[in-house]
Structure 1
Amino acid sequence: MSQERAGVRRGRGRRPAAEVRASVLAATGRLLLEEGLPAITFDRVAREAGSSKVTLYKWWPSPGALAAEAYFAQSAPVLAFPDTGDVEADLVTQLTAFVRWLTRDAAAEPVAALIGAAQTDPEVARAWAEQYARPRRELARERLRVAQEQGELRPDADLDVIVDQLWGACYHRLLVLRVPFDESLVPRLVDQALHGAAAR
């Protein structure tokens, strides 16, 4: 028996489930960003995380579903939503972090691959929606709700449409138009979403 497998076996059953899960998600997130979605197999992740394939099959229905959850765990610290009391500044800060995450931190290709896989794999689609897209959307809506309650936004402002305008524009450029973009786009997006195109 190899030293690596012996080490894995000795540790099995002694680590708390939460610790094992965290190590699996960390290993998966690292592989996803460094090598892309094809690198995410239960064999490879089990090896990298010092876990067992049985554990992975028990917790995730497919490698794609695991990759989607790992992407959320990996991106969450980067994409934290600030609340400084100035919604326009906070939107610029968060969207700038998001665009940098895509364009500088090598997340664009894994994101495109995951969204592509979600079109044909129901498990990936469910994981992407439940573990990433809806939670991220709700964080944005919550920040906008606070701004609305504080009088920074009109009482009748459609928060869902604002979210679509801001983050949807980034996904549109990334996935549909496939054109380069960077954080210089962000202030213009935020200005347009909050102030509109009508003459002032």
Structure 2
Amino acid sequence: MTDVSPVRRGRPRSVETEDAILESAYRMMAAQGLAATTIDAIARDSGVSKMTIYKWWPSREAVLIDAFLRQASTMLPLSESGDPFMRITKHAAAYAVALNSDFGKVQLAVIAECISRTGSAKIFSERYLGIRRDISLAIIKDGQKDGSIVASEPAGDLYDRIYGTLFYEYVFGFRPLTADYARKLVKSVLSAR
């Protein structure tokens, strides 16, 4: 049997170079805003050529989303083990705190960029929200099975009530978001023991 996988041309993607690009993009979005975070500016700041950036990412939005994703995975990991109710509670509390930092500002900017460029947040949903939502739904379903989550509504509805509320509260500033508020919200939605 012969190997039919395509032969990749050029040098393999360097982890250090990719990190430099994504760190620069995130730092610039947080400090200077979206308008200043151009491919030219990212290339200058990271010391990487524009050609390399365009070779690795199909668009500016893709670079911005990947920079945000990298930060999100560092700041908001979803635990792979433990009590499901506690995992969702810990994550929602961390998300509330993160929204009050540069992370929240960058998340809004990336979503706005996706919407302004494509007319929807579909690319953000596919690359970030959908993946993390699926993981969280599995955690909620596990909790419903083991009894740590009493609420019987579909996992997607429960997830949306928690994270939709946190995002809505953040965007419109109806109340200060705190970890304690997020923990109480999770408890009320999931009807924890």
Judge same fold: TM > 0.5, yes or no. yes
Name 2:46's counterpart in structure 1: 49
Q: Secondary structure at the match of 2:116?
A: coil
Structure 2 residues without counterparts, runs of 5 or longer? 1-9
1:64–1:124 Cα contact (<8 Å) kept: no
2:134 equivalent to 1:138: yes
1:24–1:51 Cα contact (<8 Å) kept: yes
For 1:19 and 1:165, how far apart are their aligned partners in 2? 39
Structure 1's 164 and 189: CA in aligned 2 closer, same or farther, altered over 3 A? same
Q: TM-score, normalised by structure 1?
A: 0.78
2:193 equivalent to 1:178: no
Q: Secondary structure at the match of 2:167?
A: helix
Name 2:6's counterpart in structure 1: none
For 1:97 and 1:155, how far apart are their aligned partners in 2? 22
* 1:35 aligned to which of 23, 28, 32: 32
Structure 1's 156 and 192: CA in aligned 2 closer, same or farther, altered over 3 A? closer
Structure 1's 194 and 155: CA in aligned 2 closer, same or farther, altered over 3 A? closer
Q: How far 1:84 sits from its partner (Å)?
A: 5.3
2:110 equivalent to 1:114: yes
For 1:57 and 1:84, how far apart are their aligned partners in 2? 38
Q: TM-score, normalised by structure 2?
A: 0.81
1:32–1:110 Cα contact (<8 Å) kept: yes
Structure 1's 124 and 161: CA in aligned 2 closer, same or farther, altered over 3 A? closer
Q: How far 1:53 sits from its partner (Å)?
A: 0.7
What percentage of aligned pairs have identical amino acids? 25
Structure 1 residues without counterparts, runs of 5 or longer? 1-12
2:66 equivalent to 1:69: yes
* 2:86 aligned to which of 61, 84, 89: 89
Structure 1's 118 and 21: CA in aligned 2 closer, same or farther, altered over 3 A? same
The one-letter amino acid of 1:186's match is: A
**Which stretch of structure 1 is more off in the superposition, 21-30 or 154-163?**
154-163
Q: How far 1:18 sits from its partner (Å)?
A: 3.7
RMSD of aligned residue pairs (Cα, Å): 2.5
The one-letter amino acid of 2:183's match is: P
The one-letter amino acid of 1:38's match is: A
2:166–2:182 Cα contact (<8 Å) kept: no
Q: How many residues align?
A: 182
1:40–1:64 Cα contact (<8 Å) kept: no
Name 2:184's counterpart in structure 1: 188
2:18 equivalent to 1:25: no
The one-letter amino acid of 1:160's match is: G
Q: How far 1:83 sits from its partner (Å)?
A: 5.0
Q: Deviations over 1:23-67 (max 9, x none)?
A: 211221222222222221111111122211112222323323311
